[in-house]
Amino acid sequence: MVSDVFFDLDGTLTDPKPGITGSIQYALERLGRPVPSRDELEWCIGPPLLENFTALVGPEAAPRGVALYRERFGDVGLFENEVYAGIPEVLAHGSKRGVRLHVASSKPQVYVDRILEHFELRPYFDGVFGAELDGTRADKRELLAFALEETSVVACDAIMVGDRGSDATGAFHNGMAFVGALYGYGSQAELAAAGATQWVRRPFDLSEALF
């Protein structure tokens, strides 16, 4: 029986596209680099921020890109975000069934906490786990290992829910089951390549898949 479910944040609980892509555009403009459209930057939703900027501007300029991104994201982009329809109902259903719910996000914990509080999702979760601002635990394998240790959850009794291949990789690396969120920003092919075999196409379908 599943005792605990860990949810990714971006692309799983909330749709953060305007805030993330807009803040990347801001950083690229400040750096004097070409600025892709928001649709062209969708691939940046999910992976660690430093990894994204390394791909966009190279390793030398990437730390400056992250700092500029946070100039905008910390005040504006953070709340250019929307809870997916059906997610509060899914969380409420899981809580009523006695399943412990957690968040495990590669986003820095300081932002994760503020987003959950802003959208009134925090009461649903027993634990909230994010990365440090310096990138520590941004890798989902490391993050989930830390979360399992902190909660004393047995991995084989837990499920990770996420929309990107890195979420699946992190789950399987730690002996957890995984359910993909195809309504987010990863494709079925990406999830399958990471070893996933179970996914849902709508947030509403998570209740049946998880509980």
Give residue-wise pLDDT tens across range 163-198. 999 999 999 999 999 999 999 999 999 999 999 999
| pLDDT over 90 (residue 159) | yes
- pTM for the whole structure: 0.93
| pLDDT over 80 (residue 92) | yes
Is 8 assigned a catalytic role? yes
Catalytic residue among 4, 8, 10, 167: 8
d(CA 158, CA 177): 6
CA nearest to 31, candidates 67, 4, 75, 3: 67
Mean pLDDT over 108-118 rounds to 95
Q: What is the model's pLDDT at position 43? A: 94
Q: Which two tokens stand for residue 127?
A: 């634990």
CATH number of 4-15+81-210: 3.40.50.1000
* CATH 1.10.150.240-classified regions of the chain: 17-79
Q: Which two tokens stand for residue 102?
A: 């957690």
Mean pLDDT over 69-76 rounds to 94
Statement: 17-79 belongs to CATH 1.10.150.240: yes
Q: Tell me the C-alpha to C-alpha distance, in Å, between residue 196 and each of 55, 73, 96, 109, 113.
A: 25, 31, 27, 26, 28
CA nearest to 20, candidates 59, 70, 63: 70
Q: What is the model's pLDDT at position 46? A: 85
Q: Tell me the C-alpha to C-alpha distance, in Å, between residue 66 and each of 16, 38, 43, 157.
A: 17, 17, 16, 36
What is the side-by-side strand order in the sheet with 177-181?
A: 127-131, 100-108, 4-7, 158-162, 177-181, 199-200
d(CA 12, CA 203): 8
Computed over every residue of the chain, the mean pLDDT equals 95
Q: 141-158: buried (b, 16+ CB within 10 Å) or exposed (e) per residue? A: ebbbbbbbeebebebeeb
Q: What is the model's pLDDT at position 58? A: 96
Segment (H or E) for 17: helix 17-31
* CATH 3.40.50.1000-classified regions of the chain: 4-15+81-210
